[in-house]
Amino acid sequence: MKFKNTHVDHQVTDEATYLNRRQLIQAGVMGTAALMSPSAWSLTLPKHQTNDAFVIDELTSEKDATTYNNFYEFGLSKSDPAENAGSLKTAPWTVTIEGLCENKGQFDIEQLVKQFQLEERIYRMRCVEAWSMVIPWLGFKLADLVKFCQPLSAAKYIYFETLYDPKQMPGQRGRSIPWPYREGLRLDEAMNELTLMTVGMYGKKLPNQNGAPLRLIVPWKYGFKGIKSIVKIKFLDQQPVNSWQAIAPQEYGFYANVNPQVDHPRWSQATERRITGGFSLFNSRIKTQMFNGYGDYVADLYKGMDLSRYY
């Protein structure tokens, strides 16, 4: 499949800025690789390829993307994760693969990631709270991981869980949501070219507050689908219930596709505040696009479905 370079009209990046930024990102990647120990991803990180077709809009500053977060395991306010996630120990880290697949087991994250081709993907990200960012992620296709797991033909869904460890995750000592955080995708959504298992951003490893060492990124869905710090992956024949759906099923569904025509019961989803350099109420408010602008690649997944019912 060939990706088109789509962009939001308000914020076309001029070529000079773009080239400059590319060089910075490349420099960042090489610099990080040089500093990392051999046991880290020094072997795979420099080999990643930037797919320029994904370059869109103006990047959100690294500072905003790493200090304005949702990660309830570390507190409810946007600044809590950056302040508190230092207590999360991300190495060693084991991912358990189970359910309806051949290749079950417990996999060390370093060994697992080495099997896959890393690439940089610059994606628009749209939170259900009507703010958005543009972030250069580093990851591999979830499709590749699914193939590695060899799902059985009965498997129709993939389910993910975040670590549950109240000692390391202070937010889990309270009952703000039923822990652990849970998410799921239909298997064809998981196999879509855009769906990324993410290990880095801005040319470096993921900071803890952004979901180290492994998180999901699904750019045509609301941000809450992007489950962080994953320890379990399970193949199912039934649609799982995700965390937000469990808390408020009238407000959050399984699909959570970005859709400006289907409002959240308490606020409009027609526009969003794009966070670029520095969070401010003066940030541009732009129109939210159907499927967050990725309709060319994903609309077929939902052909014939009533998206106001399957929200």
Ligand X SMILES: Nc1nc2c(c(=O)[nH]1)N[C@H]1C(S)=C(S)[C@@H](COP(=O)(O)O)O[C@H]1N2
- The span of 48-56, 65-73, 187-195, 262-270 binding ligand X (CB under 6 A) equals 65-73
State the Cα–Cα distance between residues 274 and 60, nearest whole angstrom: 8
Q: Using the rule CB under 6 A, which residue among 75, 223, 240, 293 binds ligand X?
A: 223
State the Cα–Cα distance between residues 272 and 284, nearest whole angstrom: 8
Q: Using the rule CB under 5 A, which residue among 65, 127, 145, 199 binds Mo ion?
A: 127
Task: Looking at residues 236 to 275 of the shown chain, list those that interact with Mo ion (rule: CB under 5 A).
Answer: none
Regarding 70 and contact with ligand X (CB under 6 A), the answer is: yes
Q: Which residue has the tokens 């690649």?
A: 297
Shortest CB 19 distance to ligand X, Å: 26
Regarding 232 and contact with ligand X (CB under 6 A), the answer is: no
Nearer to ligand X, 219 or 226 (CB): 226
Regarding 127 and contact with ligand X (CB under 6 A), the answer is: yes
Shortest CB 128 distance to Mo ion, Å: 5
> Residue 228 binds which entry of Mo ion, ligand X, none, with Cβ cut-offs from 5 to 8 Å by kind?
ligand X
Quick one: tokens of 145? Answer: 């991981």
The Cβ-side half-sphere exposure at 84, using a 13 Å CA radius, reads: 21
In contact, 86 and 169? CB cutoff 8 Å: no
HEC assignment per residue over 223-276: HHHCCCCEEEEEEECCCCCCHHHHHCCCCCCCCCECCCCCCECCECCCEEEECC
Quick one: tokens of 225? Answer: 């689908």
Regarding 81 and contact with Mo ion (CB under 5 A), the answer is: no
Regarding 291 and contact with ligand X (CB under 6 A), the answer is: no
Could you count the other beta carbons within 10 Å of the beta carbon of residue 200?
24
Buried b (16+ CB within 10 A) or exposed e, 79-91: ebbbebbeebebe
Task: Looking at residues 212 to 231 of the shown chain, list those that interact with Mo ion (rule: CB under 5 A).
Answer: 223-224
Nearer to ligand X, 48 or 215 (CB): 215
Regarding 54 and contact with ligand X (CB under 6 A), the answer is: no
Regarding 210 and contact with ligand X (CB under 6 A), the answer is: yes
Nearer to Mo ion, 140 or 279 (CB): 279
Quick one: tokens of 40? Answer: 């880290």
Shortest CB 244 distance to ligand X, Å: 8
State the Cα–Cα distance between residues 176 and 74, nearest whole angstrom: 11
DSSP helix/strand/coil, 311:
coil
Nearer to ligand X, 181 or 311 (CB): 181
State the Cα–Cα distance between residues 255 and 235, nearest whole angstrom: 17
Q: Using the rule CB under 6 A, which residue among 205, 221, 228, 234 binds ligand X?
A: 228
Regarding 139 and contact with ligand X (CB under 6 A), the answer is: no
- The span of 2-10, 67-75, 163-171, 204-212 binding Mo ion (CB under 5 A) equals 67-75
Shortest CB 180 distance to ligand X, Å: 7
For ligand X, the nearest residue by Cβ is 223
Residue type, 11: Q
In contact, 128 and 264? CB cutoff 8 Å: yes
Q: Measured between alpha carbons, how far apart are the two ends of the chain, in Å?
A: 27
Residues that bind ligand X (CB under 6 A): 69-73, 127, 162, 181, 210-211, 223-224, 226-229
Residues that bind Mo ion (CB under 5 A): 70, 127-128, 223-224
